[in-house]
A and B are shown apart, each in its own frame.
Chain A
Amino acid sequence: SSGVFSGLVLSYLWSRRFYIIYIYNKYWWSLHRTGFHLIPRLSSIVPESCLLITVGLLVGGLIKLAGEKVPPVLDSKLFFLCLLPPIILDAGYFLPIRPFMENLGTILMFAVVGTLWNAFFVGGLLYAVCQMQSAPSDLLNLELLPCLLFGSVVSAVDPVAVLAVFEEIHINELLHILVFGESLLNDAVTVVLYHLFDEYSSVGTVTVVDAVLGVLCFLVVAVGGVLVGAIYGILAAFTSRFTSHTRVIEPLFVFVYSYMAYLSAEMFHLSGIMALIACGAVMRPYVEANISHKSHTTIKYFLKMWSSVSETLIFIFLGVATVDGDHSWNWTFVTVTVILCLVARIIGVVGLTFIINKFRIVKLTTKDQFIIAYGGLRGAIAFSLGYLLDNDRYPMRRMFLTAIITVVFFTVFVQGMTIKPLVELLAVKKKQEAKRSINEEIHTQFLDHLLTGIEDICGHYGHHHWKDKLNRFNKKYIKKCLIAGERSREPQLIAFYHKMEMKQAIELVESGGGVKLPPSVPSTVSMQNIQPKKPPPVERALPQIPKGREDEIRKILRGNLQKTRQRLRSYNRHTLVADPFEDGWSDLLLKKSKMIELEKKITEMNNYLTVPAAPPDSPTITRARLSSGGRETDLKAAESPVLTPCPPPDPQTYQMKQMSDSVPTIQVDLASPQSPDSLSLLDELQRADQRRELRRRPPPDEEEGGLMMRPPQARGGDQGEEGGPSAKEQRLQRCLSDPGPSAEDDEDEPFLS
């Protein structure tokens, strides 16, 4: 019966939860609209987190007015199991690894030593202040250990609040990663301190042995959390290696493994946040090399969506819990807490920076220190941890909660709102908005090797040396295990280049296939501007294809591309799963780029268009093959009847892959002479050559030429005529498909001389 009862209670609470959300939804939009309508500049002054808390306050107030009982929405279970993980996973998966690792020492110092300092300073001084109170005060009953516990709860910088505020101020990468990294890594410290003080306050005393055990505990919690996360991350990476046939569920693996890492860590009282960060950061490079482009987009958008929703809910629930909460206001306690938090933070940051700067290559300036200190926001984690406190053991729990909420409100509202103008005022360096370019990537790699080399010449094993060693180990062993197929051997530079190429190609196709300029290529510079000019060939009668032809040719090309796409578009889940478009995309791109290149090449390579004789065992000229060494572009006749010769290179198209200098192969397959396009194009080529021919010798008799294998000479009559199917074309058709009686005589002569 107790089971049934708890079930009922749970479902009541659960239904109430939806009521809250319903109320929030109903009023949120109207509040939002009216608020923003009345004060249009509100959003630029007030960070969104403040706004959300205010809304929460209003909603809570409304519910109270309505006489309903507000359910404990910021229930710690809901918070730690549902609301927090998406935000942390989002942060961990998209963590910029390079700046994080480069500043890891600094971040760890701030996270570990800084938080310890804060906890002891606040807790200790608070106890002292409480002891100094005159007799009738409740505060005298407060012992040291609960104070220290309170100190540890309230001193942790909160990642949710930091993310919410820092996202809007766009400061430079270094400061962002320092504060944010600290907020993530101090979870281990908080967890350990919290449990330690919780345990010890029941015992009452702490010995040195206990302190040492505490340190050990911290190491286990931190390292254990990271290990658990890393193991799950590697598992996820390994799984993604085999998902090439089940692309739709790839994102699921990422989410499931990450959440399991979090749950496992929490289960063993290890640091769940660190596990989640480690999992996301470890799996990302390998998973991204394995999964499809669509899965990558899915993961990105789902993570952003979930973390957005969570963040919104957290702040709103914070507001609601404030209104509803059981408060016990004590002026001394609360004000002293707020002041001590600020002071502790400032002293901590300044003191630590002094020590850290001795070890950093690029030192932290005073401005940096100020931003780091000012960015130490507290948030919902502190509140939830306070909420978890047992009411019996801590009679001052309500007072603690009130104080925590005050600190949170103070930091989020006051510091959150003023940090943006302060950043402007102090002219702190902002984030570089520039897109990653291939030049930067080349030089980043170059610098890495250069600095490693210089370190080797100097003779000491520095930061770069170990990084280089790790990279080589990664490339040699780990990538082979975790990345599927050829990509395991792909150097990073080439992977980056392919990614950029893909992005540009997608933009190009989306913008109409090269007719319009894609927005990322706003200049008219193209490959021909940077290629050194070849010396002009001796005979330079470049046949120009008239404009109409050019468009027709381009239409055919585009039609081929679209035909391939259409063929592959399917809404059946099963064909979607084995999506050849996804995997064949890069091949398609390759083909397209080759086609464009070949167009260009043909104009320049006109002289080389001599055709070797048809092989003696194929007397017919059903298939005319113009080949001139080098590579083959295999285009099946049925799908794409012919490869065009040259429109003049279009300066507007972004030339993707430059061909090698060897003259490319063009296979012109006339197996389907029915297609008028194919013939008219071959027609052009012949006409071009024919014009050249004509300048050299007079045209022979038309009748004779028609049956011979020199169609150019047969067409002597119609020089400038735009082709439509005509008698001459049909003759050509016939000529090509039907060997004719006099074919044998001219077998050995080239088809087009």
Chain B
Amino acid sequence: MGASQTRTEDVFQELSDKTGFSLEQIRILHKRFRQLSGEEDTISKENLEKIQALDKNPIRNQIIEAFFDKRNQNDGEVGSSREIGFQQFVKVMCHFKPPTLKMTTEDKEAMRREKLRFLFNMHDTDNDGTITLDEYRKVVEELLSKSGAIGLEAAKAIADAAMLEVASINVPHMEPHEFYEGITFEHFEQILKGLEMESRMNIRFLDVDTSTMHCGKSQ
């Protein structure tokens, strides 16, 4: 018991050094991981689908899929895992860390690129390196799916207009017969330059364990 505990502590320490989370944050994440997995060592998609709060989320499936996407592990592999362990879980959570005060501009740029890459992977479902019009249409449809029955028409029109905009910004002069294949990662970066992902795509990771302090269920 004692030996395995120190082993877990070592693992945590190693993870903390690798990912930049503090030890306390890792412990809290681990606790949540165990809660989600039902005290197992791995979680599967069904575990995540059981979370009630996610039901109202229109892009629920994409979010869950992102956890199992091998591309987000930065191992060079592609495809989708069936189950992930705690390390992979933390690796995905890493994408949502805020920038620290000590980061240089280059660090911030790298962080921005990493976050944009995560978003790109979420959109590029067939992993061909571009977001085609169909994939983009699907994204917009999913976004509008929980908002009522305005219809696929609007989603299609919006996706088309968005695609047109990407094309106009990145490849302004196309002949009528040319075909814009899809949004590459560079184009994606270009159009979302104004949003400053490194300041936006963050969540607060708890430093103090408040899971015992909730008055209601937060599962």
Contacts and interface: CB of A to CB of B under 8 A. Distances in A.
Contacts of B154: 494, 497
A446 B115 CA distance: 13
B12 interface: no
A60 B160 CA distance: 61
Nearest to B123: A446
Contacts of A658: 156-157, 160
A447 B196 CA distance: 12
B57 A493 contact: no
A450 B32 contact: no
Contact of B179 (A468, A490, A529): A529
Nearest to B161: A438
Nearest to B134: A532
Contacts of B218: 459-461
Interface string A78-96: 0000000000000000000
Contact of B93 (A365, A452, A458, A464): A458
A522 B172 contact: yes
Contact of B153 (A527, A531, A660): A660
A660 to B, nearest CB: 7
A530 B167 contact: yes
Given A438-B162, A439-B191, A525-B168, A365 B203 contact: no
B174 interface: yes
Contacts of B163: 530
B131 to A, nearest CB: 11
B202 A449 contact: no
Given A442-B143, A529-B176, 10 more contacts: A438-B162, A449-B59, A451-B202, A457-B54, A493-B140, A493-B158, A494-B158, A497-B161, A523-B169, A529-B174
A459 B195 contact: no
A494 B194 contact: no
Interface in A482-537: 489-491, 493-494, 497, 500-501, 521-533
List of 8 A-B pairs having minimum Cβ-Cβ separation, nearest first: A523-B172, A491-B147, A456-B53, A523-B168, A453-B63, A651-B176, A525-B167, A361-B98
Interface in A429-452: 432, 434, 437-440, 442-447, 449-452
26 contacts: A432-B194, A438-B162, A439-B166, A440-B191, A442-B158, A444-B195, A446-B139, A454-B96, A457-B48, A457-B54, A457-B67, A459-B211, A464-B203, A489-B148, A493-B144, A493-B147, A494-B150, A522-B172, A523-B167, A523-B168, A523-B171, A523-B173, A524-B176, A529-B174, A655-B164, A658-B156
Interface in A325-368: 357, 361-363, 365
Among B147, B161, B176, find the residue whose CB has the most chain A CB atoms closer than 10 A: B161
A362 B199 contact: yes
Contacts of B194: 432, 434, 437, 440
B143 A493 contact: yes
Interface in B186-208: 191-195, 199-206
Contact of A456 (B57, B180, B200): B57
Contacts of A458: 29, 32, 93, 203, 205-206
A459 B133 contact: no
Contacts of B206: 458, 460
Contact of B58 (A449, A462, A522): A449
Given A362-B199, A434-B194, A531-B133, A457 B51 contact: yes
B172 A459 contact: no
Nearest to A498: B154
Contacts of A361: 98, 202-204
A444 B201 CA distance: 10
B129 to A, nearest CB: 17
B156 A456 contact: no
B101 interface: yes
B60 interface: yes
Interface size class on chain A is: 35 or more
A439 to B, nearest CB: 5
Interface size class on chain B is: 35 or more
A522 B168 CA distance: 8
B126 interface: no
B109 interface: no
Interface in B44-86: 48, 51, 53-54, 56-60, 63, 67
A657 interface: yes
B150 A525 contact: no
Nearest to A451: B203
Nearest to B171: A525
Contact of B176 (A365, A449, A461, A526): A526
B101 A439 contact: no
A543 to B, nearest CB: 18
B106 to A, nearest CB: 15
B165 interface: yes
Contacts of B158: 438, 442, 493-494, 497
Contacts of B179: 529-530, 532-533
A266 interface: no
Contacts of A445: 143
Nearest to B43: A457
Nearest to A472: B56
A362 B162 contact: no
Contacts of A525: 164, 167-168, 171-174, 180
A452 B57 contact: yes
Given A361-B202, A529-B178, A443 B93 contact: no
A463 interface: yes
Interface string B122-133: 100000000001
Contacts of B193: 434
A439 B176 contact: no
Contacts of A460: 204, 206, 210-211, 218
Contact of A451 (B56, B140, B161, B201): B201
B119 interface: yes
B117 to A, nearest CB: 14
A19 B181 CA distance: 69
A206 to B, nearest CB: 38
A669 B10 CA distance: 81
